[in-house]
Amino acid sequence: MSNMNPISGAASASMGGGRPILSPDYLLAHRVGVPGTKDVIWNPLYDFQAYPSAGYAGNQTSFFSNQQGQGTSSAPGVGTNVSKTQFDTNLQAPNQLTLGNEFYCIGSESLFYPGVNNTTNTPFALLPGRSDVPTSIGLFVNDVWEVGNQGVKALKVGTDRYYINDGPLMMFPPVSRLAIAAAVSGNAATNAGGEIAYAAWSGESYSLVPIYIQTNQLFTVFIYFPVQIALPSGQIGRLGERLRGYLIRQAT
């Protein structure tokens, strides 16, 4: 039994289930840690920050400007005055890749989490499943809608080259999201109920004509809003940017 090798394009034997038999030459081409060679791994670049409940001052914000150890963490529950860690970003230098690292970018996604801040874990009022308190009904959905239907994203590489200039933000849906199968429940005796309220931007992932970002080449993601966009819930949220692609690094 044979099939077409997706790597070389040549016919090759198959072990069944579509899995090709790996030849010694193919294995040698994928060795790691060989001096003078490069590794290529799937390793998107990401950066998260707090979304102020009143919106961004100046109606704009930027990402990838603070590496690990700088800026302020927005990770749930870490507390205030904590610098960014791996839970916020995987950058080791501001707006650039460190020596020996390059990035082949093929897509962009925006991730927004209502009611997530660094002081506490997700506030009770904005959990997807919660008590049916009249003042909290629909706030999760409303926050997601308010941020997603506005804003323009721009990706700049170098000093004046823009590779994204598009919006609104819901045009950049996350590739993974929470899947929910839910029912509404109630208690006739107390007139209390349960509500499931969850929303995420969805649709085709936003693809880019590939961009090859080289070592020490500056890049920044900007998000601009027409006005200061306050969140209906009045709660701090968390907004993240993720550049999808491959990390090319020197073997050690």
Give 223-251 pLDDT, tens digit per residue: 999 999 999 999 999 999 999 999 999 87
Angle formed at CA 122 by CA 116 and CA 123, multiple of 5 degrees:
110
Q: In the prediction, which pLDDT does 9 show?
A: 47
- Tell whether the model's pLDDT for residue 3 goes beyond 80: no
Query: If you count DSSP H runs as helices and E runs as strands, how many of each does the chain have, helices first?
Result: 2, 14
Give the pLDDT band of residue 132 (cuts 50, 70, 90).
low
d(CA 203, CA 90): 26
Q: In the prediction, which pLDDT does 186 show?
A: 59
Mean pLDDT of the chain: 87
Give the pLDDT band of residue 58 (cuts 50, 70, 90).
very high
- Tell whether the model's pLDDT for residue 61 goes beyond 90: yes
For 62-73, the pLDDT digits (tens) are 999 999 999 999
Q: Percentage of residues in the chain with pLDDT exceeding 90?
A: 60
For 189-225, the pLDDT digits (tens) are 554 556 788 899 999 999 999 999 999 999 999 999 9
Global pTM reads 0.86
Give the pLDDT band of residue 137 (cuts 50, 70, 90).
confident
Q: In the prediction, which pLDDT does 67 show?
A: 96
Query: What are the angstrom distances between the C-alpha of 69 and each of 79, 89, 203, 221?
Result: 15, 10, 34, 20
Fill in the amino acid letter for 12.
Answer: S
Looking at the DSSP bridge assignments, the partners of residue 220 are 156
CB 18 within 8 A of CB 219: no
How confident is the model over 40-60, as a mean pLDDT? 96
β 101-113/206-213 pair status: antiparallel
Q: In the prediction, which pLDDT does 125 show?
A: 64
Q: Percentage of residues in the chain with pLDDT exceeding 70?
A: 84
